[in-house]
Structure 1
Amino acid sequence: MPDSNDKLWPYNKGLAFAIIPLVWLVFMVIFMIGQRYAGWQNTQGTVILVVASISFLPVVLLLLDFFSGRGAVLDIKGVKIDFSKINLDTQAVKRASFGLPDNIGVDGALITDSTAMNIVKVLATTFDQEVAVLNLKSGDAWWVTRLLAFSAGAARTGSPAILVFIGKKENVANAFLGMAKPKDIVNAIVENNDQYKLRYDKAIGIARQVLLFSDDTLLPPNFMLAPDIARYTTLPEYVNLHEAVTEQIILDQMANNSAYAPAGSLEEPPDKITISRLHELFAPCLYKDEIELSASHDQQIDKLLSSKAPYIALMKDGQYDSALKQSDGERLVLTELFRQSKNNKPQNQTT
């Protein structure tokens, strides 16, 4: 049975009925005061309708929980609503998930040259992807620095909109660990470590000036760029990236071990994203709502309607399958209920 937190009326059943006389009593007092001091006249019909609607709402929600909890067919004045007909395991609502290569496909520490452009290539392949999946595996597949650079690019371009984390948990591969928005990931990382914030802010500042001064013909006479900026503007591989140069510079600055980075490379040793590190960094912004597709339809609908997350993980036998946009799921429910109400309209009812 679904947890009480997943119900439309999660409170005590007796409370739903006790509210009815309580609401009537409160509104009666308000109405009497309104008639005496505010001049409310000839409004009895409207007040009764409003009070009846509000007072019986908890009972209606309780009944819907009862019927939905049994995968039942609800028959209201000849209109039958079959909750079991609503299927979330369909390509119509599933969001395809693009699997990212481990560590953005970049092995080892980076060097400031033209050989480490993998992040830009990966971002280019995800420009039309709404959901991207990062498989942390046993905790050695991704580094925080690489995730920061990719998330910054995703936040800038708006794609992917959500990043899904899966990994090996309790000896189950591809277990769902949570999902988060790229912008939230960036904020969480830079606020977690002073060096991350320092390097990130510096990279953003450098990138802006690289974009501004990449055309040396526009520079004032005798104008000298700082060495940390000039080394990028002299490399066509960076200049030709245009806006995407930002993510590449972020990635490079994280691994920078030159004289301009006293703390040395932040990838030596690498800050690996294990399951514990994932929750340490992103616990406040991780969405962890999930729906098991092998569960009953009523349990699936309960999970969907009670979720406040923008995306929900769809699971098959404990493993991540795909993502469901919450608004798509709600639209599916409403569409199916509307279709059923039309198909089951009483024959003697005129249109």
Structure 2
Amino acid sequence: MAEVLVFVDHVDGVVRKPTLELLTLARRVGEPVAVALGAGAGATAGVLGEHGAVRVLVDEAPEYGEFLVVPKVDALVAACEAVSPVAVLVVSSAEGKEVAARLALRTGSGLLTDVVDVEAGEGGVVVVQSVFAASFTTRSRVVRGGAVVTVKPNSAPVEPVAAAGEVVGLEVSFSPGASGTRVTGREARESTGRPELTEAAIVVSGGRGVNGAENFALIEALADSLGAAVGASRAAVDAGWYPHSAQVGQTGKSVSPQLYIASGISGAIQHRAGMQTSKTIVAINKDAEAPIFDLVDYGVVGDLFQVVPQLTDEIKARKG
């Protein structure tokens, strides 16, 4: 059976959920072979094996933490030479897209980004993408080399399936460019206790209608009642009401949660491009003609300063 490389996103050996989703997709087209790099990489084998990885290629060289991107590309090139995969799956994050693009260039392969589904097809792996702000759905495959694919988080369920998870050392020869950009320091981001925005099953976002940084407390309260992540429109971020790291949209982060609640967001194309693949969309806006209502599953025409607190109280009451 064909093999599929899965690039593991982990933090000191703790595998992040989007990687487990990649293993689910990989099993649809072949046998998953995981590639885990950096400190703690060996500790990932257990959970990866529990989710279908037949092998885990491991290299814990310090270069992956000391330098940016290129050492990881060198390792994936080595993995491709060892495995000859039909496809390489990478999480569709900012770093993931850069790694994937460099890998595709180095291996002479086709690159497909922000994919929402993967399946086996005649002539190779077929992927599904939502394009032009999710106005269209396309099905594509590469025609040269093995496909290099970045997949949006929340595109597939996490499905545990026992496999060998055999740990195999990966021999990597770093290229001269591997040491070109050194990491000089790291600063931990302050934890909010909320899920990571791009991985969250529920996202509650606020926009221009929130009318001030102090009013984002309403959005946060609703999010916390649902165990959700907090997002913001570009207008709210540009106004300095919420951090740029929470921006949802074409120039921010793309999200695809099970539930997306937009409060005080008009629905400009820039924002829609980042959230339109959400499974269920709810909008709260006092303007009945706001474009956001064109794509929602449920819409509430009303003042968010009245609707959001009531909704938060009702959720808390039902949770007991």
TM-score, structure 1 length as denominator?
Answer: 0.20
More helix by share: 1
Larger Rg: 1
More strand by share: 2
The structure showing larger relative contact order (alpha-carbon pairs under 8 Å, at least 6 residues apart) is: 1
TM-score, structure 2 length as denominator?
Answer: 0.22
